[in-house]
Structure 1
Amino acid sequence: MNNGSITRATINLSALKHNQLVLQQQAPNSQILAVIKANAYGHGMVRVAQTLSGIYAFGVARLNEALALRAAGISKPIVLLEGFFHADDLKILVEHNLQTVVHSQQQLDAILASDLNSCLQVWLKLDTGMHRIGFHEAEFDDAYQALKASKNVSKPIHLMTHFNCADELDNNITAEQNRRFKTHIKSDSGLVSSANSAATLAWPQTHADIIRPGIALYGVSPFIDKVAEDFNLQPVMTLKSQLISVRSHQAGESVGYGAGWTATNNTKLGVVAVGYGDGYPRMAPEGTPVLVNGRLVPIVGRVSMDMLTVDLGEHCREQVGDEVILWGKGLPAAQVAKHIGTIAYELVTKLTARVALDYVQ
């Protein structure tokens, strides 16, 4: 449905399924927990969940994300990767058959003290080096035994950790984290999970029972120095807009707020109907590429709320109405992010509601 905007994100569901297959081939002996938090990294959480099949579970960050999936009829297991925030949430988790990560003493105490009418499936998280959330190694075994003894907890208990440097292929921290994690796996443990997108693609020894791909599912490389195509991944999102103006511009003339860019030669400038009101980063510097009619052209001047300006060149043939690709097919989001000084994760998750999502097969 057209919402009146010419700035739209095309979501290629065939590419999504292709990427799932590629990741499954990388870890043929593991099941997939598909991470679809943050509205499936901007791709539309419900539609992504409806498209992915043959997976073990979905991973979300917050309870409201999980409840939205249940309300949409998603019946697969759903894991709260940050766990629950309030003891009162536990009854909601049980009611909607939601699984939860347990990463703190406060969460553990809340589970032990609750009066639940059904058992709760938990994932006990070990901090092996991220030092963000998770039980320290000295606390982990006691937490495991306490959960194992609780009438509120389903058995067996699943185990999880998270890598902080898996995208650095020459960094041995991942191997050391994996070694630490394995020393805490019990003979009666349930499922074991540690591999994120980067570890799934580059550290096969970490695959275990469950892999947890996020960004790679959407066809974006988790590595700074490798592109998605290196792994046969296809971009799922292509952010598009149109030229709404093509006009001559003289040497010595500036453009945009603050007059921060001045032409050194006669040229033609194109104005694209996209800006930070759509989620395109305001801090995108001069030279950040966009794709117009199959050729890369640079942004000039400041990105404003609804528009950005590109230098088309004096002898360009572009016209008003021509399509502009901001990232996606033909222009990887990671390449754009590198120019801006951010990561592709931020680009795809920060699109605003003004950008319509168009799903194609």
Structure 2
Amino acid sequence: MPDPVTDRQASPSDGQREQDRLILDSIDRFLEREVAPHAHALEHDDVYPADIVAAMRDLGLFGATIPEAYGGLGLRPSLYARIIERMARVWMSITGVINSHLIMAHIVATKGTEAQRAHFLPRFATGELRGGLALTEPDCGTDLQAIRTTARRDGDAYVVNGTKTWISNGIHGRCFALLVKTDPTADPRHAGMSMLIAEKGDGFRPSRKLEKLGYKGIDSAELIFEDYRVPADRLVGETEGTGMQCAGAGLELGRINVAARGVGIAQAALDQSLAYSQVRKTFGKPICQHQAIQLKLADMATRVEAARLLVDKAARTFESGRRTDLEAGMAKLFASEAAIENSLEAMRIHGGYGYSKEFDVERLYRDAPLLAIGEGTNEIQRVIIAKRLVERHPA
């Protein structure tokens, strides 16, 4: 079946391809000089990579997808996905620092008023004001309509009370796209949900850093709101009841990011397995010459290429302005599972060395499972994919 999105897209011009190459080359140099030498130690000690974050700010990565009119780089999502893949190949945690931030920026850019865009996007783009997305709560994960954080209108402000958890950039970030209930009695429940642009201040504090299996370095935190006042003009779009639409718009970009991370992890696992299998010898020859290892390498490489194509299609669909939950869901589902499978196979190929903390293979194995959970579990992705398929192809 022809793909109407792919079929109508023009091939990039020579100038655009050259510009993309220059951008990706600069990212590669940054990763080689600033990230690769330090990632192992920072991850091992779970230390926030402040110097790396500062370098990311200097590169303009906090404005990667923010329109140029507001001071951002205005990169196409397909190029942004390639950048995220490269970063994840070296250290996945640093991709989360910009992902959550750019989801917040995308919500403001697409759902906010012009006054909100003019006030916030330039500060987001420079990295002066960094933050993320605050959706998840202790008793609410995938079912966002079950959130309990409330925002009560009080004159020219909203008074917020509640708790958010597993919030990326929760400690070091200063501003968040905050999903709240402005009408807890609404039916359907999503009609009573709204999105606020919430800067830290009195009544808004992180309670603690959450310890994780992997994805270390980046700060994942609980956020506490106790009679926290937000000016009413920080209601995204200045319209109550649109919180779920705002969250959905941001998560489409977020799922492309997570899918690109999956490609990066899967590629890193393949890269390390290819290198190791050519120098490790058993029974008188490199293990890459044993059929059992060859079968693993072939499957790993195939998963990487298939995942990369799905991510690129999702990103290009997103660029076209069309609804992307089907394509982003497929990319996120397949690429995250590819990361998990490839990281496990890399550990098996490396044997005991793959289980050692002296090598990066065990980090890939610990980082990969997050991708099957973050930005919506893979189980919910399957439900979304099936629903959209039925909608698009009625009997």
TM-score (norm 2): 0.28
Structure number with the higher helix fraction is 2
Rg (Cα) greater in structure: 1
TM-score (norm 1): 0.30
State the structure with bigger RCO (CA 8 A, min sep 6), 1 or 2. Answer: 1
Structure number with the higher strand fraction is 1
